[in-house]
């Protein structure tokens, strides 16, 4: 869930196009006739599910798409949007379930369009293939789902690190990007949004421990390109078979929202996945072990990376909760979506600290060890 430019989440302007404007835009830019359009939830961009009408004799292809209208701030970084789009295309070609762009009438992956309003804001627009499946947030999660998501996180980062070499990739060096896990200390400037309470004190504790125990170890972590937001709404799943299994088995059918991509570290991706999967579990403190086991089936963590995992997960909780509170003050109309994680996030973060790092890590590592991958590696 990105928010604004690399330093200040308050500087973006979220698009506000109506459905009629969307239909006209799709026709004008992509040459497709919209039969219906439905808004989709979004943090700071504007997304629409659109279905197009094919004329007789038209080329085959998907009939449903997602129109993504990027916020005004990120739209000033076409190199960054290009990198995200090229990464999606690369991953799709490698067999990952990521969307691909429908080209504009001019043969481009995106177009810069004006909203026609008084400020004449300009937004980059892309038409992406619509992916099947149900968000993880809407299914009954199991250890098998968590394992598959951990495996996905490692496989995705490994593929990007080893084989994605598009010229636009340099734009992913986003030093002050507020959502990069290395930048948890930047939360200092947004804590005011929490008010003075126990939550504020907890976040201050996370930041101080992060500064002292994680930042000095960054150079020891293995670097890669992170998706950066493998949350419970950005991963789609489908039943893996037609059998009546209880609980059902799922496979990942879609990876959404690459707007938080940046250079980071492998351990960042698994920490982010653990944090968001905790949101969807009735036994949140055990979730990390299943996600970790899936991740380590592809790429075992080093001892120093494992030692930072607790504070990295805590740091992501702090990022999500603080930035959401700050952004909700600025954009109260989008408060319900912005505060999705907060509904259970605060409880989980406080629980982690009440149980303590040693006990939480013991649960995670023993659960992961039961799968056997780390020991084999």
pLDDT band for position 376 (cuts 50, 70, 90):
very low
**255 vs 82: CA distance, rounded Å:** 17
Percent of the chain whose predicted confidence (pLDDT) is above 90: 73
Taking a C-beta distance cutoff of 8 angstroms, is the pair 165, 156 a contact?
no
Q: What is the pLDDT of residue 5?
A: 41
What integer pLDDT is reported at residue 4 of this predicted model? 37
Tens of pLDDT, residues 168-188: 999 999 999 999 999 999 999
Q: Would you say residue 337 has pLDDT above 70?
A: no
Band (56; pLDDT cuts 50, 70, 90): low
68: nearest Cα among 36, 99, 86, 45: 45
What is the torsion angle, in degrees rounded to the nearest 10, for the CA atoms of residue 79, residue 227, residue 203 and residue 325?
60
> At a CB cut-off of 8 Å and minimum separation 6, what does 308 contact?
213, 214, 217, 221, 267
User: What CA–CA distance (Å, rounded) separates 342 from 178?
Assistant: 18
- What is the third-level CATH fold of 19-129? Phosphorylase Kinase; domain 1 (3.30.200)
Model pLDDT for residues 19-55, shown as the tens digit of each residue: 899 999 999 999 999 999 999 888 778 999 999 986 6
Which residues of the chain does CATH 3.30.200.20 include? 19-129
Q: How confident is the model at residue 18 (pLDDT cuts 50, 70, 90)?
A: confident
Q: What is the CA radius of gyration of the chain?
A: 21
Q: How far apart are CA 319 and CA 375, in angstroms?
A: 32
- Alpha-carbon span 374 to 377, nearest angstrom: 5
- The arrangement of secondary structure in 134-375, i.e. its CATH architecture, is Alpha-Beta Complex (3.90)
Query: Considering the entire predicted model, what is its pTM?
Result: 0.90
Q: Which residues are catalytic?
A: 229
241/86: higher pLDDT: 86
pLDDT (tens digit, 9 = 90+) per residue, 247-257? 788 999 999 99
Band of the pLDDT at 243, cuts 50, 70, 90? low
If you search the block for the tokens 């980071």, which residue do you land on?
Answer: 264
The Cα–Cα gap between 177 and 234 comes to 20
Q: Measured between alpha carbons, how far is 260 from 250 in angstroms, rounded to an integer? A: 25
Distance, in Å, from the CA atom of 271 to the CA atom of 181, rounded to the nearest integer, reads 9
Give span(s): CATH 3.90.1200.10, the chain: 134-375
């Amino acid at each position: 869930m990105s928010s604004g430019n690399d330093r200040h989440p308050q500087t973006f302007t979220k698009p506000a196009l109506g459905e009629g404007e969307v239909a006209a835009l799709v026709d004008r830019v992509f040459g497709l006739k919209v039969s219906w359009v439905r808004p989709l939830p979004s943090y700071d961009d504007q997304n629409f599910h659109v279905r197009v009408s094919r004329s007789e004799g038209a080329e085959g292809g998907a009939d449903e798409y997602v129109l993504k209208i990027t916020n005004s701030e990120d739209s000033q970084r076409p190199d960054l949007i290009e990198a995200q789009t090229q990464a999606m295309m690369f991953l799709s070609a490698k067999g990952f379930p990521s969307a691909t762009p429908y080209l504009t009438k001019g043969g481009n992956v995106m177009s810069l369009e004006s909203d026609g309003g008084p400020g004449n804001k300009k937004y980059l627009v892309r038409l992406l293939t619509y992916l099947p499946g149900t968000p993880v947030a809407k299914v009954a999660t199991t250890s098998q789902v968590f394992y598959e998501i951990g495996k996905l996180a490692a496989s995705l980062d490994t593929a990007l690190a080893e084989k994605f070499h598009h010229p636009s990739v340099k734009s992913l060096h986003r030093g002050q990007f507020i959502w990069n896990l290395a930048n948890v200390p930047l939360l200092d400037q947004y804590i005011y949004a929490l008010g003075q309470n126990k939550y504020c004190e907890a976040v201050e504790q996370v930041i101080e421990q992060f500064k002292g125990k994680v930042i000095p170890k960054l150079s020891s972590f293995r670097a890669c390109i992170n998706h950066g937001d493998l949350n419970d709404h950005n991963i789609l799943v489908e039943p893996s078979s037609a059998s009546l299994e209880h609980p059902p088995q799922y496979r990942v059918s879609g990876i959404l929202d690459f707007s938080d991509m940046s250079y980071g570290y492998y351990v960042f991706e698994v920490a982010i996945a653990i944090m968001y999967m905790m949101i969807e579990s009735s036994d949140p403190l055990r979730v990390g072990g299943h996600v970790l086991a899936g991740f380590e089936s592809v790429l075992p963590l080093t001892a120093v990376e494992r030692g930072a995992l607790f504070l990295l997960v805590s740091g992501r909780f702090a990022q999500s909760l603080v930035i959401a509170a700050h952004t909700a003050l600025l954009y109260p109309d989008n408060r319900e979506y912005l505060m999705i994680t907060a509904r259970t996030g605060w409880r989980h973060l406080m629980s982690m600290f009440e149980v303590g790092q040693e006990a939480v890590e013991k649960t995670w590592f023993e659960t992961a060890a039961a799968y056997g991958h780390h020991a084999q590696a």
